[in-house]
Amino acid sequence: MTQTQEHNVPAQRFPEFSGEWDSLKLGDIAAFSKGKGISKADISEDGAIECIRYGQLYTDYGETIEEIKSRTSVPASELVLSEANDIIIPASGETQIDIATASCVLKDGVALGGDLNIVKTSNNGVFLSYYLNSKRKIDIARLSQGISVVHLYAAQLKTLHLNLPDAPEQQKIASFLSQVDCKIAQLAEKKALLQAYKKGMMQKLFSQELRFKDPQGYDFPDWEEKRLGEVAEFVGGGTPETGKPEYWGGEIQWFTPTEIKQKYLSGSKRTITKLGLQKSSAKLLPVGALLLSTRATVGDIGIATKECTTNQGFQSLIVNSENINEFWYYWILENKKTLLRRSSGSTFLEISKTEIAKIKADKPSLSEQQKIADFLSSIDRKIDLVSSELDHAKTFKKGLLQQMFI
C-alpha cells in the first residue's frame, strides 16, 4: 500500500489505483426497505429458513454475515428474504452509537427481521459495511433520533454523505479487510480452544483423574487432605485515610479487587507511601503472594510480582514452604465456586478469613505441585501469546479502517 496526500483520496491506498473518489450520498446509490417481524418465539432450531433478528447485529455479527446463527419455521411468504450483498442496519436501538452498525448479508434467502433497515445497492456491500462501521459511524449516529429508544429511518440514511472509489478498488479493499477479519476470527477461535483445553485439564488434574509421573516414571505419593489454613497464612488489607495526601502516591503498590484480572499483577492504579502503610491496617505482602478478593467480588486471584498491599477487600495467601504458590493459584481458580458457597451478606457477598481457612483441599507432594503448576503455566503462556497476536490484529484492522477510507 502507498501513502498519499492528494485531495479526496484515502491516506493509505493500493498502488494500482489512482484518481479521486466520487463524492455522493447513500440515497444516490441505494434503495431502502424494511425487514419483517420475527419474534423470539418464531426461532426454531429445525426451522427451514435461516433468519437474522436486529438484536443479533449487536452481539453475533460483524461487517459480513455468511454463517447464520438462527432459523425460523415461519413460511417464506410471510417473510422478507435477503439477496446477497444486502446491507442491514438496525432501525432501533438503545444508543445512537450502537445503532450505527452495518453488516453485509452474503447469502440469498435469509429472513430479515423487523427493525432492520435493508440497503440494496450495486456497489460492493462488504466495502460499504466496513466503511459505514468506521469512517461513517459517527455520522450515522448523528442521523438517529430518540432518547430512551433511538430510531434510524431510511429518509435519514439517504442523506448520508459518502466518498466512493470505483468497483475494482471497492472489491480490493473489501477482500483485504475480509482477510484481516478471517485472521482475527482464527486467532479468537484458537484462544477459545486453548481456554477450553486449560479448563478441561484443570478439572482432570484437580480431581486426580489425570496424574503425572515423577522423573523416574513412578507414581507420585497420594494426595493428603488439608485445610487451606494449613497451606497458607492469610493477610487482610486496608485503606489509608483518603484525606491525607502524604499517605498516597508513594512507591508501594495498593490493589483493589477490580484490578485482579490477570495471573501476574505488576502495577496497581494507585500507590501508597511508607507512612500510609504505617498509619493503616494495610500489610506489606511479599513477592509471590496470592491476592484473593473476598468482598463484593469473591474469588478473583492473582500473583504479586512485587511487594505490594491491598485494600480490605482481600484475604491474601502467603503459602508456606511445603507448597507452591502457583499450584494454589490454579486450585483456587478451579474451586472458586467453593468460596462463593461459603460467602454471605445481604448488601454484598463476603467470605471471612476463618471460612477460607476451613476449606478442605487435597494437597499433592511439592514435586507434583510444581509439575501441575508448570504444565498449566505453559498453557497460560500459549493463551497469552495468542491474545497478544489477537490484540495486534485488531489494532492493525482499526488502523486500516481509519486510513483506507475517506
Give the tens place of pLDDT for each residue, 141-170.
Answer: 999 998 889 999 999 999 999 999 999 999
Identify whether 3 is part of a domain.
no
233 with 281, same domain? yes
Section 40-62 average pLDDT: 93
127 with 23, same domain? yes
239 with 346, same domain? yes
C-alpha 347/C-alpha 127 separation (Å) is 50
Number of domains comprising the chain: 3
Copy the grid coordinates of residue 288. 509471590
4, pLDDT greater than 60: no
374, pLDDT greater than 50: yes
Question: Which residue range is the domain that position 171 belongs to?
Answer: 166-220+364-406
273 with 242, same domain? yes
- The closest alpha carbon to 264, from 274, 253, 273, belongs to 253
C-alpha 147/C-alpha 150 separation (Å) is 6
6, pLDDT greater than 70: no
Q: Largest Cα–Cα distance in the chain? A: 77
172, pLDDT greater than 90: yes
321 with 207, same domain? no
165, 188, 208 — which closes off a domain?
165
Section 213-230 average pLDDT: 96
C-alpha 293/C-alpha 188 separation (Å) is 28
Q: What is each CA distance from 389 to 45, 187, 395, in whole angstroms? A: 35, 7, 10
- The closest alpha carbon to 336, from 370, 303, 293, belongs to 293
> For position 144, which CATH number holds?
3.90.220.20
Identify whether 111 is part of a domain.
yes
β 92-93/49-52 pair status: unpaired
196 with 314, same domain? no
177 with 66, same domain? no
373 with 255, same domain? no
Q: Cα-flanking dihedrals φ and ψ of residue 26, to 5°?
A: -60, -35
pTM of the model: 0.88
Identify whether 9 is part of a domain.
no
Identify whether 1 is part of a domain.
no
136 with 193, same domain? no
121, 136, 165 — which closes off a domain?
165
Identify whether 8 is part of a domain.
no
Section 100-125 average pLDDT: 97
If you write DSSP's letter for every residue of 233-248 in order, what string do you get? Answer: EEEE-----TT-GGGE
373 with 328, same domain? no
User: Band of the pLDDT at 5, cuts 50, 70, 90?
Assistant: very low
Task: Please provide the average confidence, as pLDDT, over all residues in the chain.
Answer: 96
Section 284-294 average pLDDT: 98
Section 23-51 average pLDDT: 95
Q: What percent of the chain has pLDDT over 90?
A: 94
Identify whether 391 is part of a domain.
yes
Identify whether 32 is part of a domain.
yes
- The closest alpha carbon to 151, from 101, 98, 93, belongs to 93
> For position 378, which CATH number holds?
1.10.287.1120
Q: What percent of the chain has pLDDT over 70?
A: 99
22, pLDDT greater than 80: yes
pLDDT, residue 399, reads: 96
69 with 88, same domain? yes
If you write DSSP's letter for every residue of 149-165 in order, what string do you get? Answer: SEE--HHHHTT-EEEE-
294 with 265, same domain? yes
Identify whether 326 is part of a domain.
yes
pLDDT, residue 2, reads: 62
pLDDT, residue 221, reads: 97
pLDDT, residue 3, reads: 61
Burial class from Cβ neighbours inside 10 Å (0-12, 13-18, 19+) for residue 250 reads middle
pLDDT, residue 37, reads: 87
User: Band of the pLDDT at 220, cuts 50, 70, 90?
Assistant: very high
